[in-house]
Structure 1
Amino acid sequence: MKTVSKTRCCRQKCLLGCLLPFLFLLLACPPVEARVRRRLTIRSDPPGALVYIDDQEIGITPVSTSFTFYGTRKIQLIKDGYEMVTVKRTFRAPWYQITPIDFFTENLLSRELRDERVLDFKLAPQRIRSDAELRQRGIQLRRRAEEGIVAPPRGATTRLGPGPVQRNILLPPTRVAPALPAPGTPTFPRR
């Protein structure tokens, strides 16, 4: 019986001896916010483009934002008179942000580390269509409307904003029939 309690006592002392320096180290370090600052700056030529990161509006270029996670980000720049730019960029973690090293750099390091990323984009002027192209497109749309076809032509793309491009490939064109009253419903003359 004495050997069991002696062994238990030795284990407790050993555990306390190992944990005590670690606890002292944690208590000796003053609590601070974050030791690693992550910042992403996006610039465009010309400046003034609206920036979306992962479909979240960030601001107008030049713009900076903090980020927490590394990985692939979808970045979009939109400016009137210029083509919209959509890219996917992968941000790799620096060596001091790889597990388990990141525990020490985030919690125990006495100085601040900065991870600053800068992305530069050159915006291309939007292509101006000629009057003949616009007229031809208007004639096509008018003809389709007269035929009662609602859906755009096959393969046409619709862009509603910063989200993904929606392709109308699966929807066949449909004809709209004139509305007829249900049988037994009285009809009233239009004024």
Structure 2
Amino acid sequence: MLFVVSRPGHTRCLWILLAGLCLLQTGCVSRRLMVQSNPPGALVLLEGEEVGYTPVAVDFTYYGTREITLIKDGYETLKVMQPVPAPWYQWPGIDFFSDNLLPHRVTDRRRLSYSMQPKQIPPSEDLLQRADQLRNESRLGP
């Protein structure tokens, strides 16, 4: 498209129009948390809500400490208070510009990886001894 500007007032309008179009093309910050586990296939709870099975990715809005729980049969349940610090361009004051005025989209991906421990199963003898002990205590009373 070719613009022919014949008057000085039209030039100013054209620049204002171009600046407005540039502002409409601004990007934003996309935040994504990716959780992996060894072994894979663990149920992931983020702040107590199910988000899927590892490996799983979920979008988030705010930075801070997140409660992440991993559950898998045959493995100890893993509960972690995971800090997710804000990058420098999301610090208060700067975040307005990175969220609203950057000419492109910024993607902040956080990859969290956890190793789960196999569940420790006590020997049958120990369980039977503990059961006998509890049974005897209940007969004697407090």
TM-score range, shorter chain: 0.7 to 0.9
Match for residue 55 of structure 2?
A: 62
Contact 2:70 2:79 in 1 (8 A): yes
Supply the AA of the counterpart residue of 1:120: S
- State the SS of the aligned residue for 1:73: strand
Taking the aligned partners of 1:90 and 1:131, their CA distance within structure 2 comes to 40
Structure 1 alignment gaps of length 5 or more = 1-23, 150-191
Q: Which has the larger radius of gyration?
A: 1
Taking the aligned partners of 1:26 and 1:86, their CA distance within structure 2 comes to 48
Q: What's the offset of the Cα at 1:142? A: 2.5
Match for residue 23 of structure 2?
A: 29
Residues 38-187 of structure 1 aligned to structure 2 (within 5 Å)? 38-147=31-140
Count of matched residue positions in the alignment of Structure 1 and Structure 2? 127
Q: What's the offset of the Cα at 1:148? A: 5.8
| % identical equivalent positions | 45
Q: What's the offset of the Cα at 1:63? A: 0.8
Q: Deviations over 1:85-128 (max 9, x none)?
A: 11111111111111211111111112100100001111111111
| Root mean square deviation of aligned Cα | 2.5
Match for residue 10 of structure 2?
A: none
Structure number with higher strand proportion = 2
Structure 2 alignment gaps of length 5 or more = 1-17
Taking the aligned partners of 1:43 and 1:26, their CA distance within structure 2 comes to 43
Taking the aligned partners of 1:61 and 1:25, their CA distance within structure 2 comes to 45
Taking the aligned partners of 1:100 and 1:72, their CA distance within structure 2 comes to 21
